Amino acid sequence: MAKEVVNPDELVVVGEELDHVRIITLNRPRHLNVISSKVVSLLAKYLEKWERDEQAQLILIKGAGRAFSAGGDLKMFYEGRKSKDSCLEVVYRMYWLCYHIHTYKKTQVALVQGISMGGGASLMVPMKFSVVTEKTVFATPEASIGFHVDCGFSYMLSHLPGHLGEYLALTGARLNGKELVVAGLATHFVPLEKLPELEKRLISLNVGDENAVKATIEEFSLHVQLDEDSILNKKQIIDECFSKDTVADIIKSFEVEASKEGNEWIGPVLKGLKRSSPTGLKITLRSIREGRKQTLAESLNKEFRLTMNILRTTISADVYEGIRALTH
């Protein structure tokens, strides 16, 4: 099989072509593969090219190092805060990329070995197949810093069972690999040590036929069982509290539950909620609720407007203070 590395000098994203298989590697391991404008344009370029290429049948995407992707490059947003709409183009292109991934015509497999957060997780969840491991950590923590869940997550989280979407979006709670599969945010759980072998097998499979790809992954995947203390076993409390109309009512209801025996896990979550940007929480709650009634395209349009207005500090400057507190 001829191996061609495309544009090896543009190393933030490496694209490889192996007969009928195409591999994308997010390649900023020291920065947890965060998504910069360069990453967005390269991802878009490869995916558009390969969708048109009749030779390309199967697309694999993975991250170098211990992370899959920790999400958007916060430094890029912070540094652009003083020049008007400096991030407009990258935001627009990222959301367009999100839509493209959801509607992609070739079989895509995400191999998610580690951290997969925020916008980074938008390269995992919509894939036909998303393979996670015992080291995978998922979260959408944007609301806490005065931002909102974006990259299509106001749509994806709002369609989770009950009010789990509100819970994940407002608290930024982390899910592990097993929880992701049970929640329907990933398709298969494979032990980390077997991931390189699975990748080799998919490359040698050399076809994009969904049934063949699925059968190959299932040779490596394990049936998952939730840990007893998993947040997904707290459905009743989550649905009771996070179905309330406002953030204030959600917090009040959560406080009532926290005082009951056996609910010690709520304390730290509540503390995090109260430390979060009130504006970020309100915007996120409304966005998730609207996402339930919207198509993906409508949700992404709404998210684009929200992002630009947040970055323009039309509503509040919380986002820049949130980023500064997190990164400095």
Q: Which residues are catalytic?
A: 72, 119, 142, 150
The residues pairing with 103 across neighbouring beta strands, listed in sequence order, are: none
Question: Cβ(192)–Cβ(133) under 8 Å?
Answer: yes
Token pair belonging to 277:
């940007």
Helix (H, G, I), strand (E, B) or coil at 26: strand
Cα(277)–Cα(245) distance, integer angstroms: 18
DSSP code per residue over 86-107: TTHHHHHHHHHHHHHHHT-SSE
Question: Cβ(267)–Cβ(261) under 8 Å?
Answer: no
Please count the CA atoms within 13 angstroms of the CA of 36 that sit on its side-chain side: 16
Sequence-separated contacts (24+) of 124-129 with Cβ below 8 Å: 124/68, 124/185, 124/186, 125/153, 125/156, 125/185, 125/186, 126/98, 126/101, 126/102, 126/152, 126/156, 127/61, 127/101, 127/187, 128/187, 128/210, 128/213, 129/187, 129/188, 129/213, 129/214, 129/217
Q: For residue 306, which of 277, 278, 279, 274 has the smallest C-alpha distance? A: 279
Cα(218)–Cα(115) distance, integer angstroms: 22
Token pair belonging to 117:
């957060």
